[in-house]
Structure 1
Amino acid sequence: MIVLWSGVFFGTLVATNTEKHSLTYIYTAFSKPVKLPGIHEFTAMGLLDNRMIDYYDSTVQKKIPKQKWMEEQLQQEYWDKGTQSRQSKQQWFKVNIDILINRMRQTTNETHVLQWMHGCTAKEDENGNLTFVRGVDKYNYDGDDFLSFDDGHQVWVAAADEAVLTKRKWDDVTALKDYTKGYLEKECMEWMKKFLEYSKSQLGNASRPDVFVFATRAKEKTNAVLTCLATGFDTKDIILNIKRNSRILTADDGVKSSRVRPNEDNTFQRRDYVEFLRTDSASYSCEVVHQASNMRVVKAWDNRLPPLEEMSIVLYVLPLVLVLVLAVLVAGVLIFLQKRGKLNFKRPSPSINGSSDSSSKGSSNGSSNGSSDSTPNSSEPLMNGSSNGSSNGSSNDSTAVPLNGKYFLKCFFKDPLQRKPYFCVYF
């Protein structure tokens, strides 16, 4: 089984801050259904600043919003067209997986996976203007880099020997290279700008972060570790400070940070910590500033130190010892009372008819009204994955334009005026 997601293929996703933004789309397709919970034959999602904004899978086969502002700001027509686009992508992926399996002489008994990520990164100045930084358009097959687009030189780069054939084929399609570059540098940027504007409408209702300050044991017995945890905030633009007597501590003071990380409920968290002497009598506090929504939370440490290791062992063992001693005393008293004849245990006499109201041996005809001998059949939902698996060829015609403006199928009109015939580019 192939481990999916960010570890290898999606390591290129940027860590955002107040100056950088990213819009990325990620697609994952398996060669056959994977019978694991939460894993679908095909999935697609959009991420703004690494936060999911839309989602599609081959089971539901519908593009849905993952942020409230996406649902509120975009009309139903956007989601309907998005659903059609994702369904077409699903078929395009299925054709290409079959091509790669044959090219690499692999068996269909094994599960193979093809992934695609494309998007753009921008820098925002103090006036809110976005400037294109870079674009990414890359493919991954069975966990390894396969093919990527060099936006600067406008060529495809093969990361594997089996990708050379695809590289040569796609380099010969000028329309594909032009459209890929145009999408990354212009269309992607336009959508990013819209989405950022839409998301700002939610900032006024941003969730107030929960802040926790606590101390834990350090490796050195004379020290303790003070941790400041902020969690549950909606946007990643956050400042977290650990203060000692109102002075902000920095990395020079030994402060370390987990940086902003996602929670399961689409919010974020950040954890900073610093080691200090247990004998330190200074006042420590945690300050969280959420600039986008003008929120500021300050929470002081309650000066509670964790018990030393020896003390913690005593605290764990002592209750067990007390329970054992109490159990021995109770057992001893019971034995003493029984020997003195103070306790008399008698077995209950058997029932005359041999039945009990709390149990049943079944009816005489051997049937029950509340059960059935047969269980209903269950079946998994069928995937719409049929395709002819063929390509209409390729062309060097530089005047070709995207079919209906759709890049997802990599299909282009040879004659833009007549809008027919068209060709599709596969691996």
Structure 2
Amino acid sequence: MFLLLSLIFLFVPLCPTVRHSLKYFYTASSGVPNFPEFVVVGLVDDVQIVHYDSNTQRAEPKQDWMEKVTADDPQYWEKETQRFLGDQLVFKDSIETLKKLFSQTGGVHTYQNMYGCEWDDETGDTDGINQFGYDGEDFIAFDLRTKTWIAPIPQAVITKHKWEREAGTNERWKNYLTQECIDWLKKYLDYGRSTLLRTELPSVSLLQKTPSSPVTCHASGFYPNKIMLFWMRDGEELYEDVDHGEILHNHDGTFQKSVELDVSSVKPEDWGRYSCVFQLSGVNEDIVTKLDPDVIKTNWGRTEIKPIHVFVVKNVLIMGFLCVYRA
């Protein structure tokens, strides 16, 4: 499901590198009270850098370091404003066309576009994405390799055929996603180096609601969000009786994540075999927290809470767990 306001990060394994991204999210809406008809949000490494909406009709920086861009181009923000104004008109017309295509009249409707690029700063690998959604469902997506459009629903087939006849436009999209977008991403990373390229380790806590509840390993305050958080038993990663939470934003720009372990079938004498491991991409040391009932924070009457003891293990000691996850 294509949703702008619910950015769900799906993680797949890769060996430790840092993969950066520049993405723009457009949302045109119809019939939504007290909400702009058109909104643009730009993100670098999931940090918002620009905002535009049809109420203000101005492209505005969302990070102080984005002001540096005017040193290279004094007209940058005016150009961005004019670009988004043009996109606003196109998307307003498009949502009316889509309503007719789906035989709709009134009601609440949204038309969304997510596009951008990714760059691996170690391997140099790049990737790009350009996809559209209507009313929360996938509508059409650009295939960067073939420069064609993928239509997952019948209503999008007409659009697919129309856009594929525009060979010049598709070539420009490929050039933007594989070259121009990457160039801009590198510029923004340089402007925001002190913020975007920093590394912050989290505090790690063990939490339990009731004596029969799962034990939650909670890591908060880390940056960037290229991490692994998992439970181990006897030095091997656990996949059963484990429930992974999503990576969430903290108010200070850092992230938090939790992973639960069902301990209902774990014998008391076996608790020492379990530990929670936090790994951060680019950091050669892991935070390992032993499953110890004396350090678990609870809300069910434990009178003495001892400080959590964590110890660090060199990656070389756990070669099987050198991979991190990327968005």
Instruction: Tell me the residue number matched to 1:41.
Output: 37
Greater relative contact order structure (CA < 8 Å, 6+ sep): 2
Deviations 1:63-113, CA, capped at 9 Å, x for gaps: 233344434566463333222221221111112222233444432x32322
Structure 1 residue 295: Cα displacement: 8.6
Aligned to 1:267: 254
2: CA distance, partners of 1:158 / 1:204: 37
**Matched ranges for 1:169-318 at <5 A:** 169-202=162-195, 209-217=202-210, 219=212, 225-238=214-227, 240=229, 250-251=237-238, 256-258=243-245, 260-263=247-250, 265-274=252-261, 275=263, 276-278=266-268, 282=272, 288=278, 290=280, 292=282, 303=294
Measured in 2, the distance between the counterparts of 1:281 and 1:159 equals 48
Please state how far the C-alpha of 1:46 moved relative to its aligned partner: 1.7
Give 3-state SS (helix, strand or coil) of 1:217's partner: coil
Question: What SS does the corresponding residue of 1:162 show, helix, strand or coil?
Answer: helix
Q: CA deviation at 1:208?
A: 5.2
Q: Secondary structure, in 3 states, of the residue corresponding to 1:271?
A: strand
* Residue equivalent to 2:310: none
What pairs with 1:77-116 in structure 2 (closer than 5 Å)? 77-107=75-105, 109-116=106-113
CA-atom RMSD, angstroms?
3.9
Question: Residues 204 and 49 of structure 1: is their aligned pair in 2 closer, same or farther, counting only changes over 3 Å?
Answer: closer
**Using a 3 Å threshold, how does the CA distance of structure 1 residues 189 and 230 change in structure 2: closer, same or farther?**
same
Please give the TM-score of this superposition, normalised by the length of structure 2. Answer: 0.70
Mapped partners of 1:184, 1:120: distance in 2: 6
Preserved contact between residue 208 and residue 295 of structure 1 (Cα < 8 Å):
no
Q: Is the partner of 1:130 in helix, strand or coil? A: coil
* Alpha carbons 1:242, 1:248 under 8 Å: kept: no
What residue is the counterpart of 2:140 in the other structure?
Answer: 147
Letter in 2 for 1:266: G
Taking the aligned partners of 2:184 and 2:148, their CA distance within structure 1 comes to 24
**8 Å contact from structure 2 (residues 198, 224) kept in 1:** no
Decide which structure has greater strand share.
Answer: 2
What 5-or-longer segments of structure 2 have no aligned partner?
A: 303-327
Deviation of 1:28 (Å): 0.6
Structure 1 regions of 5+ residues with no counterpart?
Answer: 313-427
Q: Does residue 61 in structure 1 map to residue 57 in structure 2?
A: yes
Q: Measure, in 2, the Cα distance between the counterparts of 1:111 and 1:295.
A: 50
Q: Determine which of 159, 171, 189 is the counterpart of 1:166.
A: 159
In structure 2, the CA distance between the partners of 1:215 and 1:141, relative to structure 1 (3 Å rule), is closer
Q: Residues 5-28 of structure 1, C-alpha deviation per residue, up to 9 Å, x if partnerless?
A: 366xx66x6648743333221111
Whole-Å Cα distance in 2 between the matches of residues 153 and 178 of structure 1?
Answer: 10
Q: CA deviation at 1:167?
A: 2.4
Partner of 1:120: 117
Q: Is the 8 A contact 2:225 2:247 kept in 1?
A: yes
Partner of 2:29: 30
> How far apart are residue 181 of structure 1 and its match?
1.4
- 1:277-308 CA-to-partner distances (Å, cap 9, x unmatched) read 44557498766555557897677767056889
Instruction: State the TM-score, normalizing by the size of structure 1.
Output: 0.56
Q: Please list, as runs of the form range in 1=range in 2, the aligned pairs for 1:10-29 lying within 5 A after superposition.
A: 15=11, 18-19=16-17, 20-29=19-28
Q: Percent same amino acid among aligned pairs?
A: 32
CA contact (8 A) 1:204 1:293 kept: no
Structure showing greater radius of gyration is 1
Asked if structure 2 preserves the Cα contact closer than 8 Å seen for 1:203 and 1:292, the reply is no
| TM superposition shift of 1:242 | 6.0
Distance (whole Å) between structure 1 residues aligned to residue 285 and residue 67 of structure 2: 25
Matched, 1:52 2:48: yes
- Structure 1 CA distance for aligned equivalents of residues 297 and 115 of structure 2: 48
How many residues align? The count is 292
Indicate conservation of the 8 Å contact 1:44/1:57, yes or no.
Answer: yes
Match of 1:303, as an amino acid?
Answer: D
The one-letter amino acid paired with 1:156 is W
Compare 250-259 and 55-64 and name the one that shifted more.
250-259
Partner SS state of residue 43, structure 1: strand
Q: Which moved more, 1:78-87 or 1:254-263?
A: 254-263
Look up the match of 1:5. Answer: 4
